[in-house]
Amino acid sequence: MLATNSLVFSMSASPHQPADDLPAMRKAAPAAHAQSHPSEERLRALLLAGLDGDAVAYRTFLAELSGRLRAFLRKRLHHLQDEVEDIVQETLLAVHNARHTYRPEQPLTAWVHAIARYKLMDFLRSRSRREAFNDPLDEAQELFAASDEEPAQARRDIGVLLEQLPDKQRLPIVHVKLEGLSVAQTAQLTGLSESAVKVGIHRGLKALAARIRESL
């Protein structure tokens, strides 16, 4: 049903930066991958640098991936364009939380596609389960629902879900991830130990993914 290679290869809305800007590109792809698509090679190099702790490369990877995911999902969710941005965000968070499962010898396309497909199927499954209880009048209302040409807004606000996390997960995420403080500063500010801050971020992002799932 879903073509594997259309995901990373397909051109997306996100602008392409010149490859020379990226230190990650110096970690050139091994010869075995020489035949794969250049954009896959680029993304793969960015991800691998990100996995080694290069935040700039990792941010670029996520940004480019989000464009590709958006194009991929828009094509497949004809009737559900409003939900596309939600699933893009959910899939990005899933990619982030599962980044330790990527194996360098594996094609990046296959890995990302498996995650995106899993999240899309999970969404469609819980949606159809929910629809079964829905009022049939909903269909009539859909007739008048406006169609939107603008870049869609996410309907579910992850910021609101973040507020619901317990302090020891929420505060490390807010200080380190959103305000850009260091782990040490956050530890001082919150009274948590540095390892508690790191664990809090890790568990917090997983908990956030779980909240998204429940809010489906």
Partner 1 sequence: MKTDDLISMMANEVAPVDRGLPRRRMIQALLLGGAASLALLLMLYGLRPDLMQIARTPLFWVKLAFPATLAAGALLVLHRLLHPGLDVGLRWAGVAAPSLAIWIGSALVLALAPAAERIPLLMGSTWRSCPFNIALLSLPLLCSITWAVKAMAPTRLRLCGGVAGLLAGSSATLVYCLHCPEMGVPFWGLWYFLGILIPAAIGLLLGPRLLRW
**Which span (18-26, 31-39, 89-97, 137-145) binds partner 1, by CB under 8 A?**
89-97
Report the C-alpha gap between 41 and 8 in whole angstroms. 10
Identity (one letter) of the amino acid at 71?
Answer: A
Both tokens of 62, joined, read 């996520």
| CA dist 137 → 80, 143, 145, 155 (Å) | 18, 11, 13, 22
Residue 130 binds partner 1, judged by CB under 8 A: no
- Footprint of partner 1 on 8-47 (CB under 8 A): none
Region of 180 (left: φ > 0; alpha: ψ -120 to 50; beta: rest) is left
* Binders of partner 1 in range 161-180 (CB under 8 A): 162, 173, 176-178, 180
The interface region with partner 1, picked from 18-26, 57-65, 72-80, 142-150 by CB under 8 A, is 57-65
Q: Which residues contact 152 (CB under 8 A, 6 or more apart)?
A: 81, 82, 84, 85
For the CB of residue 172, give the shortest distance to partner 1 in the complex, in Å. 10
Cβ closest to partner 1, residue 4 vs residue 10:
4
What does the DSSP 8-state code read for residue 28? P
List residues binding partner 1 (CB under 8 A). 50-56, 58-59, 62-63, 66, 85, 88-89, 92-94, 96-103, 106-107, 109-115, 117-118, 122, 153-154, 157-159, 162, 173, 176-178, 180, 182-183, 198, 201, 205, 209-210, 213
